[in-house]
Structure formats: structure tokens, C-alpha cells
């Protein structure tokens, strides 16, 4: 199908029919539909060159009329894309045209195949390059992850050590503060509670005072006695003499009585 029109050749292997459809005829047939120019050309090209269940081609050999229809969404609804009246031609012309069409189509397909093969090779090369790049990226990613993990472990261990040091320092400071507070409490308690020496001193002081006073009294008595003793000696000596005299007189009397 050309931009200015296209040529139709139909054969039943006994007879052949031919028609060249011009651009004005194509535009006239398009106006009978609701399709745009581009949509109409695409639909008509697909109907003539591809086997698609969406399109139906009917050819009446009696009047040599070709009708092309397109199926809509509903199976019962079809629109007429084109209608053309062909003229009978020689079968050899049909064979010649068919061979030319086959050769052109084959050459076109070969070019397409070569182009696809080149694209395939390029795609394979690109795939290999991308695979290598992906491997390198994967290795770099793994190395980076390992490095980051090692750095993270180092930082984490350092943080843990720092936390342990802080905890140990807090524990020591708290224990020291507790010891200081206990010492202060004990010191206050010791200040409030008298010691054994102080209690013994306090308890012993009055006794000592009493003992001292008693000793003083005793000393006073002794002094009195000592002071009195001379007078007693002076006074008692005559009495002793008298008693001795009386004893001696009584003894003499007893002796006299015994002699008698």
C-alpha cells in the first residue's frame, strides 16, 4: 500500500482480477466510516496484509466486487472499510506480480532479519558488559558493606567500652559517696553517743570524789585521833597505874589469905 494508493490483485488460480486504488478513492471510502485518516490506513493495511479475525474480506467472482469489513466490539456489529470493483486480467500477470511481491517481501524480511541479528548481537554484548558491571558493582557493594560493618563494629565496641567505663565510674562514685555518707552518719552517731572512756570517766568521777571526800574525812579523823592521842596517854597512864596497884594489892591479899 503506497501513500498515493495501492494495487489489488486477486486470483482463484483459474482467473485473476486487478485494480489500482487511488488516494481520492481511499479518502472517499474513509469518509463513509467514523475513523481518522491514520486509523483508516492502519486498519485497511492490516485487513489486506495480515490474517486477523477482526477483519473479513468478501469477493464476489460474478461481479468482481471486493468488500472489506471490520468487526466491532459486538460480534454482530461490523463496519465496511472498503469496497472496490476489480477487472479481470491475465493469470500470467498475476503470477508475475505474485513472484515480484514474494521476492520483494523476502528481501525485506532478510533485511529485517539481518537488522534483528545485529540488534541481537548488540544486545548480547551489552548484556555481557552489563553483567560484568553488575558483578563489579555487586563486589564493590559487598566490600563497602563489609567495610561499613567493620567500622560500625569498631564504633559500637568503642561506645560499649565507653559506656562500661562510665558505668564503672558511676558505680565507684556512688560507692564512695555511700561510704562517705556512712562515715558521716557513724561520725555523728559517735559524736552523740559517749565513748567508753568518757562514760567511765563520768561514772568514775563522782566515786573518786566520794572516795576523796571519805579519804579526807578519814584523814581528818586520823588527825583528830592523832591530836587526841597525847591527851589520852596523859590521862590513861594514872588509871593504868591505879589498876596495876589495885591488881597488885589484890594479889597481895590473895597471897595472904592463902598463907593463912
| Residue 75 · residue 55 · CB < 8 Å | no
Answer whether residue 41 is part of any domain.
yes
Q: Is the pLDDT of residue 260 over 70?
A: no
- Domain residue limits at 28: 5-89
Per-residue pLDDT reduced to its tens digit, 141-171? 999 999 999 999 999 999 999 999 888 888 7
Q: 121 vs 32, which has greater pLDDT?
A: 121
Answer whether residue 176 is part of any domain.
no
**DSSP state, 193?**
S
Answer whether residue 132 is part of any domain.
no
Q: Is the pLDDT of residue 123 over 80?
A: yes
Per-residue pLDDT reduced to its tens digit, 35-57? 888 888 888 888 888 777 788 88
pLDDT at 201: 44
Kindly state the cell numbers that stand for 138: 555487586
Answer whether residue 256 is part of any domain.
no
Answer whether residue 60 is part of any domain.
yes
Answer whether residue 197 is part of any domain.
no
Q: Which residues pair with 68 in a beta bridge?
A: 57, 82
pLDDT at 206: 47
Q: How many residues appear in the chain? A: 260
11 CB neighbour count, 10 Å cutoff: 16
Return the closest-CA partner of residue 12 out of 71, 64, 47, 48: 64
Answer whether residue 251 is part of any domain.
no
pTM for this predicted structure = 0.42
Looking at the structure of the chain, the number of domains it has is: 1
Q: 52 vs 58, which has greater pLDDT?
A: 58
What CA–CA distance (Å, rounded) separates 131 from 137?
10
Q: 43 vs 72, which has greater pLDDT?
A: 43
CATH of the domain at 80: 2.170.210.10
pLDDT at 214: 47
What b/e sequence results for 58-68 when a residue is b if at least 16 CB atoms lie within 10 Å of its CB, and e otherwise? ebeeeebebeb
Answer whether residue 122 is part of any domain.
no
Mean of pLDDT over the chain: 75
Amino acid at each position: 500500500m503506497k501513500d498515493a494508493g495501492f494495487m489489488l490483485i486477486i486470483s482463484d488460480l483459474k482467473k485473476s482480477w486487478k485494480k489500482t486504488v487511488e488516494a481520492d478513492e481511499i479518502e472517499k471510502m474513509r469518509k463513509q466510516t467514523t475513523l481518522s485518516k491514520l486509523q483508516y490506513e492502519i486498519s485497511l493495511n492490516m485487513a489486506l496484509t495480515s490474517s486477523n479475525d477482526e477483519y473479513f474480506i468478501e469477493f464476489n467472482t460474478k461481479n468482481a466486487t471486493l468488500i472489506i469489513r471490520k468487526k466491532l466490539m459486538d460480534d454482530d456489529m461490523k463496519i465496511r472499510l472498503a469496497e472496490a470493483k476489480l477487472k479481470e486480467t491475465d493469470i500470467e500477470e498475476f503470477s508475475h506480480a505474485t513472484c515480484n511481491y514474494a521476492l520483494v517481501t523476502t528481501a525485506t524480511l532478510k533485511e529485517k532479519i539481518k537488522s534483528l541479528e545485529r540488534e541481537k548481537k548488540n544486545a548480547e554484548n551489552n548484556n555481557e558488559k552489563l553483567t560484568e558491571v553488575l558483578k563489579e558493582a555487586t563486589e564493590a557493594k559487598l566490600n563497602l558493606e563489609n567495610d561499613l560493618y567493620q567500622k560500625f563494629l569498631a564504633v559500637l565496641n568503642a561506645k560499649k567500652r565507653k559506656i562500661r567505663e562510665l558505668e564503672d565510674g558511676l558505680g565507684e562514685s556512688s560507692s564512695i559517696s555511700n561510704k562517705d555518707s556512712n562515715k558521716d552518719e557513724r561520725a555523728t552517731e559517735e559524736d552523740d553517743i559517749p565513748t567508753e572512756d568518757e562514760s567511765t570517766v563520768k561514772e568514775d568521777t563522782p566515786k573518786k570524789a566520794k572516795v576523796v571526800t571519805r579519804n579526807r574525812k578519814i584523814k581528818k579523823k586520823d588527825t583528830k585521833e592523832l591530836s587526841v592521842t597525847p591527851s589520852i596517854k596523859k590521862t590513861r597512864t594514872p588509871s593504868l597505874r591505879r589498876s596495876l596497884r589495885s591488881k597488885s594489892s589484890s594479889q597481895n591479899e590473895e597471897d595472904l589469905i592463902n598463907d593463912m
